[in-house]
Amino acid sequence: PKTIYLKDYQEPDYWIDNTELSFDLGEEVTVVQSKLSLRLNENKTHGSLPPLVLDGTDQVLKQVLVDGKTIEPSQYELTDETLSLPVTQKAFIVEVTTEIKPQENTSLEGLYKSNGMFCTQCEAEGFRKITYYLDRPDVMAKFKTTIIADPQQYPVMLSNGNDIAKGERKDGKQWVTWEVPFKKPSYLFALVAGDLSNVTDKYTTCSGREITLKIFTEHKNIDKCDHAMTSLKKSMKWDEDVYGREYDLDIFMIVAVDHFNMGAMENKGLNIFNSSCVLAKPDTATDNAYQRIEAIVGHEYFHNWSGNRVTCRDWFQLSLKEGFTVFRDAEFSADMNSRPVKRIEDANFLRTAQFAEDAGPTAHPIRPDSYIEISNFYTLTVYEKGAEVVRMIHNIVGKEGFRKGSDLYFERHDGQAVTTEEFVKAMEDANQVDLTQFRRWYSQAGTPVITVMDQYDEDSQQYQLTIKQHCPATPGQTDKKPFHIPIAIGLLDPKGNGIALNDAGDTTQVLDVTEQQQTFIFKNIAQQPLPSLLRGFSAPVKVKYPYSRDQLLFLASHDSDGFNRWEAGQQLAVDILEELAEKARQSQSLTLDDRLIQAYRAVLQDEQLDPAVAAKMLALPSEGYLAEQAETIYPLAIHQAREFAKQQLAEALSEAWLAVYQRLQSDKAYQPTAADIAERSLKNTCLSYLSQLGEKQLALLEKQYQTATNMTDKYAALSCLVNAPAELAKPVAKTALADFYQRWQEDVQVMEQWLAVQANCSLPGAFEHILSLQEHEAFDIKNPNKIRSLIGQFAMNNAVHFHQETGAGYQLLADYIIKLNIVNPQIASRLLTPLTRWKRYGEPHQAQMKAELVRIRKQPELSKDVYEIVEKSLK
């Protein structure tokens, strides 16, 4: 397979001004006709007219016309990936007829069928599976699409834009034509045809235009669209208020699809969503799902400006739209819900998963230099770290400066396909700041490590912070230049009060760290202070400072920065758990440091604390996060240590858990408001500790499972039951699982949850049960959500079974990767992630994980997707 380099980017030889498509949808074969108006790209110098090289795969070419004349096979050149045509004029019309078989397309890229409905996924390079085209984001055309189908089976036929005409053919088939008044790249194309219901609403924009909003779904799910509709209207309003961005078409549609590789897709005017990211009602969806839906509806809607109106020049620029849009959706969620909690969740996720990616064999900058398969670059680095880089710019230029910068960016580049450079330049120009050094965040991979040393001099009343930065080598990048890192800090006096750091009395200050080593001096500091570092997680870096456990405990109860208060508690827990894990590895006896119990007790007794924050503070760092911290990972020791700590905390604070749990009982009707979600989350955190207390609290779990009136509480109880260590809990858990299945087997979203809760069970014996679920009718290898729920959850979140010493966990995962390599390469490649980390594990894990990668590499006909990741991992 060929590697594609950013440095080789060239503009296309031809532009497409207009694209007319027609789809005759059939059960056996679908006929696609295209009519493209092409024009020579005069920006480039050409000798003679170059041939037109169109991208295309997986289709049967039936006919080609240029300016109305048939082109014979002897005149064109056809390969597996391209169709080259001779060109004799600077402007010309190409008409191509091809046949495809959507019903056989299991890759879920291009046009395919899901539960009898036709749908598409074109980003990044799926359009070339539909017809021959210049399938690259810098080629933007006006699209007009006609869909022809049997009206009995496909009464609803949708594409991008506005429907402008419809009619019936002599053979009884119906047709409808859709048109987009804006130029757009092929990756934003969408088509849907099926027997669907819809929920309709209206939104009046800031300039008074009335927009029709529609959410389409299978008839049985029509009562699950309200939350997405509410979220959509909130998103539209928020983008007007915060960014001054108004919606531009007369209609905005969302379609829910069960088989989908990603979460959702921002196709112009016709978003297609994974049904798990749009459908919800109180008795089937958890608070997590409600919040995820709000965030993703926002994300895709925000793409209409940051992605569609201004798009990417090439796929190396993916973070231009994704990093920015994740930043936008994070701020939207923070405004709709609890801001500190959103920040805690995002930082936690980044530090657990993206830091691991940045430290592994597939590490890449947010703007990569090369790829083999672009689908492999829809990564946590491009998305999540990309969003952190945008956030740093936001923090450097301030809220108003950022708005000035984004206004300038949208104004300058509306209708264009641009690079990350244009984004940074707009921010610079609007604010007269110099981001030259800051740009290294776009080109250098790896997580910088900040080492902080301090010194206090009583005589001069001066306090010094010396900050060193170092970024470990990543593949292909051994020498890193220093980053521009904004580090927000505060200083606490011995009573725990924030010390004023300037005349205005601010207790937080941002230090602009730009050198390898830098010293900052603070004057008039009366007593030795304690630093609070990287407040609000102001940069995506690791910080090293030798805090004692007592100091962490102090910060956890006094820091005025909510994020850092949580962070101090986490660091205290990490320090304690690391020590326990080391002891566990050496089979020594374990005792829990009382300071962790004290910290938890303080949180449980603090009734003033936001329950959402409290729930976060009472959650132990995940096994994944602890693994990421470790020099060499011993997953079984980490698991044992964490289980031990959980157990000890449950026992030592049993009365407090019960008291808070009981205080939070309520019979309010379910509402997904921030306040209610916070209370349920704290209540169910208490329940999870109570579930550790042997048989004593079993009745409580059972009662919550049986009487819960919403899925959040029911699922929390089910999860606690499934993981409760007591022998007596096992039959109860079994009954609950059977009851749950009985009740919800027809509901796809709930069945995903049902698989996931079992895939996550860490109790002895669970692995055999997980193996048996592969044969269950609720599982389906062709549905990515089911793969993610069972196999993905198992490999990512069930360390004790995935890393079992027999190697059977790795084998199971590799078997799926091999099967999916044929069925759905994108999903196969995603599943590789846990195995790519093999070098960080101790033996026997390391050798066993590597052996599975080698086994995968030996398979005949590896997809580009799998090949690229396996090759990089074994280097």
Q: Which residues pair with 486 in a beta bridge?
A: 512
Stretch that binds ligand DPP, among 257-265, 547-555, 610-618, 710-718 (CB under 6 A): 257-265
Site for Zn ion in 301-330 (CB under 5 A): 322, 325
Stretch that binds ligand DPP, among 298-306, 495-503, 785-793, 857-865 (CB under 6 A): 298-306
Active-site entry in 109, 266, 300, 578: 300
CB 560 within 8 A of CB 507: yes
| Residue 701 beta carbon to ligand DPP: minimum distance, rounded to whole angstroms | 38
| Residue 835 beta carbon to ligand DPP: minimum distance, rounded to whole angstroms | 24
Nearer to ligand DPP by Cβ, of 416 and 560: the residue is 416
In a 13 Å sphere around the CA of 434, the CA atoms on its Cβ side amount to 4
Site for ligand DPP in 719-778 (CB under 6 A): none
Nearer to ligand DPP by Cβ, of 299 and 484: the residue is 299
Gap between the Cα atoms of 321 and 387, Å rounded: 10
Write out the two tokens for 28.
């056996």
Rounded to the nearest angstrom, the gap between the alpha carbon of residue 200 and the centroid of all alpha carbons in its chain is: 28
Q: Binders of ligand DPP: how many residues, by CB under 6 A?
A: 9
Q: Name the binder of 511 from Zn ion, ligand DPP, none, CB < 5-8 A by kind.
A: none
Residue in the block written with tokens 């397979």: 1
Stretch that binds ligand DPP, among 100-108, 233-241, 297-305, 529-537 (CB under 6 A): 297-305
Nearer to Zn ion by Cβ, of 306 and 532: the residue is 306
Stretch that binds ligand DPP, among 75-83, 202-210, 263-271, 352-360 (CB under 6 A): 263-271
CA torsion, ordered 347, 348, 354, 360, to nearest 10 deg: 130
Read off the DSSP letter of residue 607. T
Q: Which residues pair with 453 in a beta bridge?
A: 466
| Residue 353 beta carbon to ligand DPP: minimum distance, rounded to whole angstroms | 16
| Residue 538 beta carbon to ligand DPP: minimum distance, rounded to whole angstroms | 25
Give the three-class secondary structure for 147: strand
Nearer to ligand DPP by Cβ, of 268 and 616: the residue is 268
Nearer to ligand DPP by Cβ, of 266 and 593: the residue is 266
| Residue 291 beta carbon to ligand DPP: minimum distance, rounded to whole angstroms | 17
Query: Is residue 265 a contact point for ligand DPP (CB under 6 A)?
Result: yes
| Residue 125 beta carbon to ligand DPP: minimum distance, rounded to whole angstroms | 12
Which listed residue (262, 372, 408, 652) binds ligand DPP by CB under 6 A?
Answer: 262
CB 470 within 8 A of CB 486: no
Nearer to Zn ion by Cβ, of 23 and 371: the residue is 371
Give the three-class secondary structure for 332: helix
Contacts of residue 468, Cβ cutoff 8 Å, sequence gap at least 6: 450, 451, 452, 453, 516, 517
**Contact track, Zn ion, 247-286, x by CB under 5 A:** ----------------------------------------
Q: Is the peptide bond between 73 and the residue preceding it cis, with omega within 30 degrees of 0?
A: no
Q: Which residue is nearest to ligand DPP (CB)?
A: 265
| Residue 318 beta carbon to ligand DPP: minimum distance, rounded to whole angstroms | 8
Radius of gyration of the chain (CA): 28
Which listed residue (125, 218, 266, 676) binds ligand DPP by CB under 6 A?
Answer: 266
**Contact track, Zn ion, 437-476, x by CB under 5 A:** ----------------------------------------
Q: Which helix (H) or strand (E) holds 179?
A: strand 174-184
Stretch that binds ligand DPP, among 206-214, 295-303, 553-561, 688-696 (CB under 6 A): 295-303
| Residue 296 beta carbon to ligand DPP: minimum distance, rounded to whole angstroms | 8
Q: Name the binder of 36 from Zn ion, ligand DPP, none, CB < 5-8 A by kind.
A: none
Q: Name the binder of 265 from ligand DPP, Zn ion, none, CB < 5-8 A by kind.
A: ligand DPP
Residue 353: left (phi > 0), alpha (psi -120 to 50), or beta?
Answer: alpha
- Annotated catalytic residue 300: yes
Gap between the Cα atoms of 111 and 119, Å rounded: 6
Closest CA to 563 of 344, 718, 378, 318: 344
Nearer to Zn ion by Cβ, of 387 and 465: the residue is 387
CB 275 within 8 A of CB 221: yes
- DSSP secondary structure string for all residues of 708-746: -SSHHHHHHHHHHHHH---TTHHHHHHHHHHHHHHHHTT
Query: Is residue 123 a contact point for ligand DPP (CB under 6 A)?
Result: yes
Gap between the Cα atoms of 809 and 815, Å rounded: 10
Nearer to ligand DPP by Cβ, of 55 and 300: the residue is 300
Q: How far is CA 137 from CA 15, 310, 561, 736, in A?
A: 11, 11, 42, 50
| Residue 263 beta carbon to Zn ion: minimum distance, rounded to whole angstroms | 8
| Residue 297 beta carbon to Zn ion: minimum distance, rounded to whole angstroms | 12
| Residue 299 beta carbon to Zn ion: minimum distance, rounded to whole angstroms | 6
| Residue 262 beta carbon to ligand DPP: minimum distance, rounded to whole angstroms | 5
Nearer to Zn ion by Cβ, of 184 and 840: the residue is 184
Nearer to Zn ion by Cβ, of 258 and 322: the residue is 322
Give the three-class secondary structure for 530: strand
Nearer to ligand DPP by Cβ, of 127 and 483: the residue is 127
Q: Name the binder of 575 from ligand DPP, Zn ion, none, CB < 5-8 A by kind.
A: none
Nearer to ligand DPP by Cβ, of 287 and 300: the residue is 300
| Residue 300 beta carbon to ligand DPP: minimum distance, rounded to whole angstroms | 6
Residue 787: left (phi > 0), alpha (psi -120 to 50), or beta?
Answer: alpha
Contacts of residue 617, Cβ cutoff 8 Å, sequence gap at least 6: 556, 565, 566, 569, 600, 603, 609
Contacts of residue 307, Cβ cutoff 8 Å, sequence gap at least 6: 266, 321, 322, 325
Stretch that binds ligand DPP, among 299-307, 427-435, 446-454, 517-525 (CB under 6 A): 299-307
CB 833 within 8 A of CB 875: no
**Contact track, ligand DPP, 308-327, x by CB under 6 A:** --------------x-----
In residues, how long is the chain? Answer: 875
Q: Name the binder of 264 from Zn ion, ligand DPP, none, CB < 5-8 A by kind.
A: ligand DPP
Residue in the block written with tokens 């205080």: 663
Write out the two tokens for 304.
């209409």
Residue in the block written with tokens 């000890």: 648
Q: How many CB atoms lie within 10 A of CB 54?
A: 25
CB 307 within 8 A of CB 265: no
Position 113: which residue type?
Answer: K
Q: Name the binder of 262 from Zn ion, ligand DPP, none, CB < 5-8 A by kind.
A: ligand DPP
Rounded to 5°, angle at Cα 634 from 632 and 637:
140
Stretch that binds ligand DPP, among 41-49, 258-266, 277-285, 828-836 (CB under 6 A): 258-266
Contacts of residue 120, Cβ cutoff 8 Å, sequence gap at least 6: 110, 111, 112, 126, 130, 189, 190, 191, 192, 267, 272
Q: How far is CA 795 from CA 88, 261, 705, 840, in A?
A: 56, 18, 27, 16
Nearer to ligand DPP by Cβ, of 302 and 483: the residue is 302
Which listed residue (157, 225, 236, 264) binds ligand DPP by CB under 6 A?
Answer: 264
Q: Binders of Zn ion: how many residues, by CB under 5 A?
A: 2
Query: Is residue 615 a contact point for ligand DPP (CB under 6 A)?
Result: no
> What positions carry a catalytic annotation?
300
Which residues make up the interface to Zn ion (CB under 5 A)? 322, 325
Which residues make up the interface to ligand DPP (CB under 6 A)? 123, 262, 264-266, 299-300, 303, 322
